[in-house]
Amino acid sequence: MLIDSFGRTMRYLRVSVTDRCNLFCTYCRLATEEMLPNNRELLSFDEIIRLVRLFLELGIERIRLTGGEPLLRRNLVELVRALTALPGLQELTLTTNGLLLERFAADLRAAGLHRVNISLDTLNPDTFAAITQRASGSPVAHGERGGLAAVLAGIAAALRVGLRPVKLNMVVLRGINDQEIPAMVQFARQQGLLLRFIETMPVGAAGSAMAGQFMPADEILDRLTAQGDHVLLPIPTASGSGPARYFRIEGTEADVGVISARSRHFCDTCNRMRLTAKGNLVYCLGREDRLDLKSPLRNGADDAEMKTWIQEAVSLKPAGHTFAQQETHSHRMSALGG
């Protein structure tokens, strides 16, 4: 078991497979940042598989593949197939911006992927282009459709092949997309999606630049209830099950969630860590501390030695983040897997 110094048991690992992304979302990346080239600094698939195996042997149960945009990593389907064959894995999921999901959804499902989280902050093509800093409708590659249409096609493909429940993540930005909160709820209800509203976080230069667009979770929920259109009934969740608070919309089978990392943090029940694409184990999204696992891995450390490194890292996990102090953290969100 991986238990930190505050008695929290780690059961969930987010694994970034690339720090490249094909979008420049304003709260995540600056428009001036270039897409990073693929290079040997990234963990190989064999290295990822070995590390995941060790984490599973130490008690991790759930793995989420992230990026950047994970579907940009070549042969990702083969990695999914290899990971789902590992003993002890209870759930393998993927977070994606959806641009390439239509192409890969069926193969990912066949390889054993359980479900997907899809980032979608707006249903308006012009707002989508503004938030993602991508020309509206611009192709992904070789004539493929791009922009909002591609994401909507990816959502449809995920539902069609059975990657359920499909969770939709909306980062709410004051003055930019907050007026779409009711429309996003209606869209999620119609499509059978689980919508989660997410507060912006002061991570990296992009996160700092968006400080004025922060909207706390309680205000987001007020947008749904102020006009009397929705009554939200809290849904009890198990301790450590995840960062979201969920609510059932009264009179429906639809649920919505809020992830309030800044206004109402959930650090006391945190059960996760993050492995970056370059092999750093990140203790907390809101801290700079991390441990290099790639170097001992490549320098011949055996499994027992690697497990000791991992256990020592878990013991250093902090009590909580410092978002409440309005600190801006220098690392790039797109390099951490969110």
pLDDT band, residue 131 (cuts 50/70/90): very high
- Between 221 and 238, residue with greater pLDDT: 221
The β-bridge partners of 96 are 118
pLDDT of res. 34: 67
With contact defined as beta carbons under 8 Å apart, do 208 and 202 qualify? yes
pLDDT of residue 186: 93
pLDDT at residue 212, rounded to an integer: 78
Is pLDDT above 90 for 163? yes
d(C-alpha 161, C-alpha 137), whole Å: 25
pLDDT value of residue 142: 44
Judged by average pLDDT, the poorest of 81-95, 200-214, 231-245 is: 200-214
At 267, list the tokens: 């650090």
**pLDDT digit string (tens) for 297-315?**
999 999 999 999 999 999 9
When comparing pLDDT for 141 and 282, which is higher? 282
Q: Whole-angstrom Cα distance, residue 146 to residue 95?
A: 18
Interval 16-75: pLDDT, tens: 999 999 999 998 877 776 666 666 689 999 999 999 999 999 999 999 999 999 999 999
String of DSSP letters for 30-75: -TTPPPPPP-TTSPPHHHHHHHHHHHHHTT--EEEEESS-GGGSTT
DSSP 8-class letter at 99? T
Structure letter (DSSP) for residue 162 = T
- Sign of CA pseudo-dihedral 156, 140, 18, 46: positive
Average pLDDT of the chain, as a whole number: 87
Rounded mean pLDDT, 101-125: 98
**3 state DSSP class of 135:** coil
pLDDT value at residue 183: 94
Give the Cα separation of 204 and 333 in Å (integer). 6
- The C-alpha atoms of residue 199 and residue 193 are separated, in whole angstroms, by 19
Domains located in the chain, CATH noted: 12-335 (3.20.20.70)
Residue type, 71: L
Distance of alpha carbon 236 from alpha carbon 201, whole angstroms: 25
Tell me if residue 126 falls in helix, strand or coil.
helix
**pLDDT classification of 13: cutoffs 50, 70, 90:** very high
